[in-house]
Amino acid sequence: MADTSYTRRIGDRSDGRRLRTLAPVFGTMPFIMRDRSDACNSFADAIEVTDIDAWLRQKRAEGYRGMGLLHLFVAAYVRTLAFCPGVNRFVSGRRIYSRFGVQVVMSVKREMSVDAPDASIKVHLEPTDTVFDVYRKMNEQIDAIKANDGTNDMEDIAAALMRLPRSVLRLAVWGLGVLDYWGFLPRSLLEASPFHGSMIITDMGSLGIPPIYHHLYNFGNLPVFLSFGARRRAIEADRTGKLIERRYVDFCAVLDERICDGFYYANAFKHIKYFLRNPQLLELPPEKVKEDIF
């Protein structure tokens, strides 16, 4: 949504505008399912990756070193929001909002070892971004966190909180939740928080294991957790009955059902799979970006 077409109104938040024309049944859902954990729906699917891998090899040969499925999944998700903006909504304070921009959260290890600490990054994207924009923005953040021997903002905040006595820490976290409920959480904390964003994604394939169903956090407003796993091989019959080997990647998603209905989510995942199967479409920006309702 272009900033020039919108004027902030009372009841909006710094990270999203309140949706005021939703059907009444949607408006009641956050009161019936008060916690995000109450509203979790799980979805699993698989994508055949033979042609995708060929496209990735071509892009690496063209100089996009390290371009992989993680970039492609994020790019496909971001492009889908150009057609299905309702997936970029969130629930906070029993209200449903349309998010400003797209923020993808992920956890990064500074090095691939059991003892290496995790660090969260938040990548700011737009529905108009191409796969090359996604590649550049993600890699800038990942490279920065791996090169930084110190801590990031979220780690600094967590360290400060952990210096408090347990009773005070409990009160502090409760206070942050109250501020978030009413939309008064400072923008600096929203930016640092890995619990606020459009979607959180994890690449379990980099660990050599299948995807997991990861819960949604009650704190914050993340509505989607996407996980994809390692490539697997399957022997299948083609149209002539001949046995052939195909390669698949399984993925799982846990979704906040309060932001849109099952039909809408199904349409969104059809778009995601379509763009994954046709990654060349992600090389150019979309001709048009659909705006969410008001």
Q: CA 179, CA 220: separation in Å to the nearest integer? A: 11
pLDDT at 198 over 70: yes
34: which 2 tokens? Answer: 């008060």
Q: Let me know if residue 117 belongs to a domain.
A: yes
| Number of domains composing the chain | 1
43: which 2 tokens? Answer: 């979805």
> Which of these, 224, 217, 219, 187, lies nearest to 104 by C-alpha position?
224
Q: Let me know if residue 27 belongs to a domain.
A: no
Residue 276 and residue 68 in contact, taking contact as beta carbons nearer than 8 Å: no
Residue 292 and residue 89 in contact, taking contact as beta carbons nearer than 8 Å: yes
pLDDT grade, residue 6 (50/70/90)?
confident
For the chain, what percent of residues have pLDDT higher than 90?
82
Residue 90 and residue 220 in contact, taking contact as beta carbons nearer than 8 Å: no
In this predicted structure, what is the pLDDT of residue 151? 65
Q: Let me know if residue 254 belongs to a domain.
A: yes
Write out pLDDT tens, residues 98-150. Answer: 999 999 999 887 666 666 667 889 999 999 999 999 999 999 998 888 777 65
pLDDT at 152 over 80: no
127: which 2 tokens? Answer: 């529905």
**Higher pLDDT among residues 237 and 57, named by residue:** 57
Q: Let me know if residue 216 belongs to a domain.
A: yes
Q: Let me know if residue 100 belongs to a domain.
A: yes
The residue range of the domain holding 82 is 41-143+194-280
Q: Give mean pLDDT, residues 198-221.
A: 96
pLDDT at 52 over 90: yes
Residue 132 and residue 291 in contact, taking contact as beta carbons nearer than 8 Å: no
Start-to-end CA distance of the chain, whole Å, equals 11
Q: Let me know if residue 162 belongs to a domain.
A: no
Q: Let me know if residue 169 belongs to a domain.
A: no
- What are the helix (H) ranges across the chain? 24-32, 50-61, 69-83, 131-147, 153-162, 166-181, 187-192, 262-277
Q: Give mean pLDDT, residues 217-239.
A: 95
Mean pLDDT of the chain: 93
CATH of the domain at 58: 3.30.559.10
In this predicted structure, what is the pLDDT of residue 9? 87
In this predicted structure, what is the pLDDT of residue 238? 87
Q: Let me know if residue 18 belongs to a domain.
A: no
Residue whose structure tokens are 């063209």: 62
Q: Which of the listed ranges 24-28, 45-49, 112-116, 237-241 does the model predict with the highest average pLDDT?
A: 45-49
